[in-house]
């Protein structure tokens, strides 16, 4: 149903200001969850990047960058205190994700919504997504289940990351439902929510681990 052309950017010739193209991923492990969403608004020429790292007994790290300039090609973005790149290594099979940025470390996961304050902290990753199966419809695009492995980088250093994941790619005027992972091999790790438009919940919810 989906082919190599679907993996490319779809913003050529777009004229409707409400059109958006989204690349997103959610991965869980015994340590917690990694999530990000990159939304490209073709008409404005700007992209929004939102990401989060949630870990046991650690402050939630949340990153929001709403004014990244869209490059003429590819998915490499630079802004004040952030570099992010998404690379398709093999169509519908393998993606790599790089991030170097400053995020907010929150005493409480809901602190960003209540006060907008946190402590500046480094956040980065070098992650690889390997698909486990074929792409399935997701909004006007598709999603894939798979595995993520690599490194997560914080002020405390680097740690290995590995776990089940789901990635999504959609485009058009109607946003797709937020990504969901039906089940995780990791033990339950409790509930935590990142405030804003994309709360992240982790636990034994009937939906598993989800972004809603």
pLDDT for 189 equals: 44
Mean pLDDT in residue range 75-87: 96
pLDDT for 65 equals: 92
pLDDT at 188 over 70: no
Mean pLDDT in residue range 100-126: 80
pLDDT for 177 equals: 77
How far apart (Å, rounded) are the C-alpha atoms in residues 173 and 140? 9
Torsion of CA 192, 145, 170, 27, to 10 degrees: 30
pLDDT at 182 over 50: no
CB contact set of 48 (below 8 Å; sequence gap of 6+): 37, 38, 39, 41, 64, 65, 66, 68
pLDDT at 191 over 60: no
pLDDT at 209 over 70: no
Is the pLDDT higher at 32 or at 56?
A: 32
- Three-state SS at 85: strand
């Amino acid at each position: 149903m989906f082919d190599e052309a679907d993996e490319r950017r779809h913003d050529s010739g777009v004229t409707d200001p409400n059109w958006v193209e989204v690349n997103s991923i959610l991965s869980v492990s015994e340590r917690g969850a990694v999530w990000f969403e990159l939304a490209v608004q073709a008409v404005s020429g700007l992209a929004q990047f939102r990401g989060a790292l949630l870990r046991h007994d650690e402050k939630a790290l949340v990153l929001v960058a709403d004014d990244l300039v869209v490059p003429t090609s590819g998915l490499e973005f630079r802004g004040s205190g952030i570099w992010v790149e998404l690379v398709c290594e093999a169509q519908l099979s393998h993606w790599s994700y790089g991030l170097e940025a400053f995020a907010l470390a929150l005493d409480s996961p809901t602190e960003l919504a209540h006060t907008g304050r946190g402590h500046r902290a480094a956040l980065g990753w070098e992650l690889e997504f390997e698909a486990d199966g074929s792409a399935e419809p997701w909004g006007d695009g598709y999603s894939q289940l798979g595995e993520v492995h690599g490194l997560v980088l914080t002020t405390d250093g680097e740690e290995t990351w590995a776990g089940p994941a789901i990635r999504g790619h959609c485009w058009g005027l109607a946003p797709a439902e937020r990504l969901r992972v039906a089940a995780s091999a990791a033990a339950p790790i409790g509930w935590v929510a990142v405030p804003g438009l994309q709360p992240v919940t982790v636990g034994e919810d009937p939906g598993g681990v989800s972004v809603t």
